[in-house]
C-alpha cells in the first residue's frame, strides 16, 4: 500500500471577505484552493478595504447650518412665512416659499432670505430636488447682480455656489458640484487675500467642501491639501473664538480624517476623527438637538477608523452608538436622516462581522440595503452608489452564513451598478468597481464557476494595479487583496506558477505594510502567508511552505489570544494547513496535534453557526482522519471521516457545484482508510468509485483543476482492486486447502490483480473492473 494515492489537501470552503466594504478597496475574503483551505478576505471588505469611507455621512456639511458659511450674516426683515410678494410653493409647508415671481426690489432688499433660505429649509425637510431648484435660481440671481456690482455681491455669489455644490452632491451630480465649489473657493480666496478677517471663515468653508468634492472625483491629493488648509484656518479661528468655531473645526477634522484614510495615512486619520468626536460629544451634551446629528457622523467614521487600526471592540461600540443616534433622528425625520442611518447600519454590519456576530451583521446590512434601495428608486443618481455598497456587503454577509445563491445575486447587481457608474466617471468609481469584481470572483468561485471567477479577478487586479501605480499609499492594500484572490483562482484552474507569483507579490506588499502598521495589516499578512504556503506546497517547495504556515499560525494565534471571536476562525485555517505541511515533511505527531486543535475550534464554531462553519469543520475532520490513519488509529480515522463525509454529502445535495469536489475528497479518504483493513475493501471500492464519478464530471468542466486529482483517485482505486485481489486469492487458497481441491483457477485469480496494479496504464485510464 506504499504507493497508494491519498487526499491530504482537502478543499476547504471559505469562511468568508468579502472587508466588509463600504467603499474603497475591498478586503480579502476567505476562499478555497483546489486542495487546501484558503482565505480570500480578511476583513474591509469583502470589504476589507476602507469600510464606509466613500459613504460616510457628514462629508458634505451644509453651509446653511454653519455660521461660517455667510448664509446667516444678514438678519431677515421678513416673517418666517416669507417676504411679501412671494407665492408659496404649490403643496409646500408654511414658511417654505417659492422663488417664482420675486420682484427685483425684494431681491435687492434681502436676497439671502428671499432666495437662499427656501433651499436650505427644503433640504432640511428632505425635499432635496426642490431645494436644488431654489439654490440654482439663487446662483442665477447673484450672477446677474454681480455683473452690475461685483464688490457688493461676489461674497453672496460665492456662498450660493458653495451651497449649490452641496445640493449637487446630494443628488449625485458630482461634476457640477465640483465646478461650483471650485468657483466658490476661487472667489473666496481672492476676497480673503484682501480682507482675511472678513473672509477667512468663508474660505475655510469652501475649502472643506472642495476637499469633499475632490475626494468624490478620485483626486485624492488635491482633496487632502484642501482639507488640511481648511483645518489650519479653523484652528486659527478657534484659538480666538472657540465657541463660534469649534463646530466648524470638528466638521473639517471629520472630513480630513476621510482624506487621510484615502491616502493610507491611518494614524492621522484616527487622530483627526478622535478629535472631531471629542469636540462634538462635548457640544452635544450642552445642546443635543443641534449637535447630535454631527456627533453621530463622527462616531460612524470613528468606528471605521478603529476597525482599520485593528481596535475592533472600540470600533463596534462607536458604530452601535452612531446607529442608535441616527435611528432616533430618523424616527423624527426619515427623509433627512434615513440615508445616514443606512450608512451607519452598513458599517455596523462590518463591525459585527469582525466581532464574529454574523447574525447581527446580516440583519444590519439587510436593513441598510432595504433603505438604500428605496432611496435609489426615488433618486438613482444620488443613491445608486450607496446601494451598490450595501449590496456588495450584503453579498459578503450572505456568503458567511452559507446563502451563496443570494450572495451571488447581490454582488452581481452591485457590480452592474458600479460598472455603469465607472463608465461615466472612472476616477470616482473604478476603485469601487474593482471591489465588486473582487467579491464577484469570490462568489463565482464558491459556486464552482471558476472561469468566471478568474476573469473577474483578473479585471479587478488590473484596475487596482493601475491605481496603485498612481497612488501606492491609497491602493496597494487593495492590490494585495486582489493578488491574493487571483492566486487562489489561478490555483483552482491549475495555473500553479502564476498562482505562486501572484501570492509572492501579495505577501511582499503586505509584509511591507505590516512593518509600518502591524495592527492594521498583520491579519492580511497572515492570510497571504497561509495561501503562499499552499502554493509552495503545490510546486513541491515543502520547507518554504512549512515556514510560511508557521509564521501565519503564529500571527493568528497571537491575534486570537487578544480577540478570539474575530480571529479563531482564521487560526483554525492556519492550523489545518500547518497540519498538512507537517505531514508532508514526516512530522506526524505535530500534524495530528495541529489538526486536533483546528477541529476543536471549528466544532465549537459550527455548534454556534452551522451554516457558516460546517464546511470548514468537514475539512478539518477529513484531514484529521488522514492523520489518525497515518499513526495507526484506524477506528478514530474512520469516525472522523464518516462525520466529514456526512456533512459534505448534505452540503453537496443542497449545492452540488460548490461542494461536490469536497464530497469527492472525503470519499477518497474513505477508500484510503478502508483499504488498510481487509474487511472493508468493498466499502473502499464503493467510496473511491463514487469519488471518481464526481471528479470525472468536475474534470469535464474544469480539466486543469481536476485532472491530476482524478488520476490520483484512479490510482487509489487500482490499489483497492489490488488489495481485493490479494484478499480473494488468499481466501481462495484457504478454500482449496480446506477442500483439498484443484488449484487450476489460481493463475487466473492472480492475473486480474496484476492487471489492476499496472501503474502507467491505470494512472491514464480506467482500471479494470473488480475480480468476479
The topology under which CATH files domain 540-655 is 1.25.40
The pLDDT of residue 674 is: 84
Secondary-structure breakdown of the chain: helix, strand, coil percentages, each rounded to the nearest 5: 80, 0, 20
Q: For residue range 693-716, what is the model confidence (pLDDT) as tens digits?
A: 999 998 888 787 788 889 988 888
167/165 Cα distance (integer angstroms): 5
What pLDDT is stored for residue 630 in this prediction? 87
Q: What is the rounded CA–CA span in Å between residue 37 and residue 577? A: 7
* Residue 113, all three cell numbers: 432670505
> What confidence category does residue 312 fall into, taking pLDDT thresholds of 50, 70 and 90?
confident
How far apart, in Å, are the Cα atoms of 488 and each of 30, 435, 511, 672?
10, 16, 19, 27
Task: Kindly tell me if the per-residue pLDDT of 293 is higher than 80.
Answer: yes
Domain boundaries, the chain: 1-30+380-512, 540-655, 675-772
Of the candidates 343, 341, 270, the residue with the CA atom closest to the CA atom of residue 307: 270
pTM (predicted TM-score) = 0.68
Please write the tens of the pLDDT for every residue from 661-683: 999 999 999 988 887 766 678 88
Q: In terms of C-beta density within 10 A (0-12 exposed, 13-18 middle, 19 or more buried), how is residue 81 classed?
A: exposed
Mean pLDDT value across residues 286-301: 95
Segment 62-91, tens digit of pLDDT: 222 222 222 222 222 222 222 222 222 323
Q: How far apart are CA 257 and CA 260, in angstroms?
A: 5
pLDDT band at 621 (very low <50, low <70, confident <90, very high): very high
Average pLDDT over residues 50-59: 31
Residue pair 299/318 in contact by the 8 Å Cβ criterion: yes
Tell me which of 1.10.645.10, 1.10.490.10, 1.10.150.20, 1.25.40.10 is the CATH number of domain 1-30+380-512. 1.25.40.10
**All cell numbers assigned to 433:** 468597481
Q: Do the domains spanning 1-30+380-512 and 540-655 agree at the CATH topology level?
A: yes
pLDDT at 614 over 70: yes
Amino acid at each position: 500500500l506504499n504507493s497508494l494515492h491519498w487526499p491530504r489537501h482537502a478543499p476547504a470552503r471559505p469562511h468568508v471577505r468579502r472587508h466588509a466594504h463600504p467603499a474603497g478597496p475591498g478586503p480579502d475574503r476567505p476562499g478555497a484552493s483546489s486542495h487546501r483551505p484558503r482565505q480570500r478576505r480578511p476583513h474591509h471588505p469583502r470589504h476589507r478595504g476602507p469600510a464606509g469611507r466613500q459613504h460616510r455621512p457628514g462629508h458634505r456639511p451644509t453651509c446653511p447650518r454653519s455660521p461660517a458659511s455667510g448664509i446667516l450674516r444678514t438678519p431677515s426683515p421678513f416673517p418666517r412665512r416669507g417676504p411679501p410678494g412671494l407665492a408659496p410653493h404649490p403643496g409646500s409647508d408654511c414658511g417654505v416659499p417659492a422663488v417664482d415671481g420675486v420682484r427685483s426690489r425684494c431681491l435687492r432688499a434681502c436676497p439671502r432670505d428671499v432666495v437662499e433660505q427656501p433651499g436650505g429649509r427644503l433640504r432640511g425637510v428632505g425635499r432635496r430636488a426642490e431645494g436644488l431648484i431654489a439654490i440654482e435660481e439663487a446662483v442665477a440671481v447673484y450672477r446677474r447682480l454681480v455683473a452690475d456690482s461685483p464688490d457688493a455681491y461676489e461674497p453672496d455669489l460665492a456662498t450660493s455656489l458653495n451651497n449649490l455644490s452641496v445640493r449637487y452632491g446630494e443628488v449625485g451630480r458630482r461634476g457640477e458640484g465640483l465646478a461650483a465649489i471650485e468657483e466658490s473657493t476661487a472667489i473666496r480666496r481672492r476676497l480673503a487675500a484682501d480682507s482675511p478677517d472678513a473672509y477667512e471663515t468663508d474660505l475655510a468653508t469652501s475649502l472643506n467642501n472642495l476637499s469633499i468634492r475632490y475626494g468624490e472625483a478620485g483626486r485624492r491629493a488635491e482633496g487632502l491639501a484642501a482639507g488640511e488648509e481648511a483645518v489650519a484656518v479653523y484652528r486659527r479661528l478657534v484659538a480666538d473664538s472657540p465657541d463660534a468655531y469649534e463646530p466648524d473645526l470638528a466638521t473639517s477634522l471629520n472630513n480630513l480624517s476621510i482624506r487621510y484614510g484615502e491616502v493610507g495615512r491611518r494614524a492621522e486619520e484616527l487622530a483627526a476623527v478622535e478629535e472631531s468626536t471629542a469636540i462634538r460629544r462635548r457640544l452635544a451634551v450642552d445642546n443635543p438637538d443641534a449637535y447630535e446629528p454631527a456627533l453621530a457622523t463622527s462616531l460612524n467614521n470613528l468606528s471605521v477608523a478603529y476597525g482599520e487600526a485593528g481596535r475592533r471592540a472600540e470600533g463596534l461600540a462607536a458604530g452601535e452608538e452612531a446607529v442608535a443616534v441616527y435611528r432616533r433622528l430618523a424616527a423624527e425625520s426619515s427623509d433627512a436622516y434615513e440615508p445616514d442611518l443606512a450608512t451607519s447600519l452598513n458599517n455596523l454590519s462590518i463591525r459585527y462581522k469582525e466581532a464574529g456576530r454574523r447574525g447581527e451583521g446580516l440583519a444590519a446590512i439587510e436593513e441598510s440595503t432595504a433603505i438604500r434601495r428605496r432611496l435609489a428608486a426615488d433618486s438613482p443618481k444620488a443613491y445608486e452608489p450607496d446601494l451598490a455598497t450595501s449590496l456588495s456587503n450584503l453579498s459578503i454577509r450572505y456568503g458567511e452564513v452559507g446563502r451563496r445563491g443570494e450572495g451571488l445575486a447581490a454582488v452581481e447587481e452591485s457590480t452592474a451598478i458600479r460598472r455603469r457608474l465607472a463608465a461615466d466617471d472612472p476616477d470616482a468609481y473604478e476603485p469601487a468597481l474593482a471591489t465588486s469584481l473582487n467579491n464577484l470572483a469570490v462568489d463565482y468561485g464558491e459556486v464552482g464557476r471558476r472561469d468566471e471567477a478568474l476573469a473577474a479577478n483578473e479585471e479587478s487586479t488590473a484596475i487596482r494595479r493601475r491605481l496603485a501605480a498612481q497612488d501606492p499609499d491609497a491602493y496597494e492594500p487593495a492590490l494585495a487583496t486582489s493578488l491574493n484572490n487571483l492566486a487562489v483562482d489561478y490555483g483552482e484552474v491549475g495555473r500553479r506558477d502564476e498562482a505562486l507569483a501572484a501570492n509572492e507579490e501579495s505577501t511582499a506588499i503586505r509584509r511591507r505594510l505590516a512593518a509600518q502598521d502591524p495592527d492594521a495589516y498583520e491579519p492580511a499578512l497572515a492570510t497571504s502567508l497561509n495561501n503562499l504556503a499552499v502554493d509552495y506546497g503545490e510546486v513541491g517547495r515543502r520547507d518554504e511552505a512549512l515556514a510560511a504556515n508557521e509564521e501565519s499560525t503564529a500571527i493568528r494565534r497571537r491575534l486570537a489570544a487578544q480577540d478570539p471571536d474575530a480571529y479563531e476562525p482564521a487560526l483554525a485555517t492556519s492550523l489545518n494547513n500547518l497540519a498538512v505541511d507537517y505531514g508532508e515533511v514526516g512530522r506526524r505527531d505535530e500534524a495530528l496535534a495541529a489538526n486536533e486543535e483546528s477541529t476543536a475550534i471549528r466544532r465549537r464554531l459550527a455548534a454556534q453557526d452551522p451554516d457558516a462553519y460546517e464546511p470548514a469543520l468537514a475539512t478539518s475532520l477529513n484531514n484529521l482522519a488522514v492523520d489518525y490513519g497515518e499513526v495507526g488509529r484506524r477506528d478514530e480515522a474512520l469516525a472522523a471521516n464518516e462525520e466529514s463525509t456526512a456533512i459534505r454529502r448534505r452540503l453537496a445535495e443542497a449545492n452540488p457545484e460548490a461542494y461536490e469536489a469536497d464530497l469527492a475528497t472525503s470519499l477518497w479518504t474513505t477508500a484510503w482508510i478502508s483499504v488498510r483493513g481487509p474487511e472493508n475493501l468493498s466499502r473502499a471500492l464503493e467510496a473511491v468509485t463514487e469519488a471518481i464519478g464526481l471528479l470525472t464530471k468536475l474534470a469535464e468542466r474544469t480539466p486543469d483543476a481536476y485532472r491530476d486529482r482524478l488520476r490520483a483517485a484512479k490510482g487509489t482505486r487500482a490499489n483497492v482492486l489490488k488489495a481485493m485481489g490479494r484478499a480473494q486469492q488468499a481466501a481462495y487458497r484457504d478454500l482449496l486447502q480446506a477442500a483439498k481441491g484443484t488449484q487450476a483457477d489460481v493463475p487466473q485469480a492472480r492475473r486480474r490483480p496484476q492487471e489492476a496494479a499496472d501503474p502507467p496504464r491505470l494512472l491514464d485510464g480506467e482500471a479494470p473492473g473488480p475480480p468476479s
